[in-house]
Amino acid sequence: MSAKPSEKQHFVFTGWHMLIIMLLFFGTVISVNVTMAWNAVTSWSGLVVQNTYVASQQFNGKAEAAKARAASGIVGKLQIDGTTIQYIVSHPQRGAIDTDAVTLNFRRPVGERQDFSLNMEKKSSNTFIAQHELAAGDWIVEATAVKNGAIIVHEGTRIDIAGGVR
């Protein structure tokens, strides 16, 4: 045995250690904030309507028109099979509803870069068809069916396309 006691070196917390801890902490916070801000700015336009004042003035009229369309019972059915997009206008009791034109607006829930509109080709009195390949992911489809210049169906549907096929 040795008569000399062993000296244990104790850790000394210095200013350099504190500097490293502060740089790591604030560097993490700042980098997360910058990443989130970049994602927010590049992924969504933020616009729902171009002019909120005008939209607020038109709200009651649009709400009444939507109630009248809903009360008519006329509905549309969207069918997607590969690149073939079909829209059928009908009534639960009366069956097929003669329709002049159908327009489908495809929008991404976030972003505007891939948005597009389709003017459907009339296949029969109530069936409209178009060919278009949809990219995979979520879409909001706004359908507008018109008869004698009046909108008879105006509805929105959210769909999910997996690998280009619904």
Q: How many domains does the chain have?
A: 1
Asked if residue 34 is part of any domain, the answer here is no
Q: What pLDDT is stored for residue 154 in this prediction?
A: 92
Outline where DSSP puts E strands in the chain: 75-81, 84-91, 95-96, 101-107, 116-119, 121-122, 127-131, 137-147, 150-161
Asked if residue 58 is part of any domain, the answer here is no
The CATH code of the domain that includes 79 is: 2.60.40.10
Asked if residue 95 is part of any domain, the answer here is yes
Asked if residue 94 is part of any domain, the answer here is yes
> Contact at 8 Å (CB) between 102 and 143?
yes
Asked if residue 82 is part of any domain, the answer here is yes
> 165 pLDDT band (50/70/90 cuts)?
very low
Residue type, 75: V
Q: What is the number of other CB atoms lying within 10 angstroms of the CB of residue 126?
A: 22
Asked if residue 48 is part of any domain, the answer here is no
Asked if residue 105 is part of any domain, the answer here is yes
Statement: residue 1 has pLDDT above 60: no
Q: What is the mean pLDDT of residues 51-56?
A: 90
Asked if residue 31 is part of any domain, the answer here is no
Which structural domain, as residue segments, surrounds residue 112? Answer: 73-161
| pTM, full prediction | 0.65
- For 20-34, write each residue's pLDDT tens digit: 999 999 999 999 999
Q: What are phi and psi of 69, to 5 degrees?
A: -65, -40
Q: What is the mean pLDDT of residues 126-141?
A: 91
The residue among 46 and 78 whose pLDDT is bigger is 78
Tokens of 109: 């829930």
> 112 pLDDT band (50/70/90 cuts)?
confident
Q: Note the Cα 91 to chain centre separation in Å.
A: 28
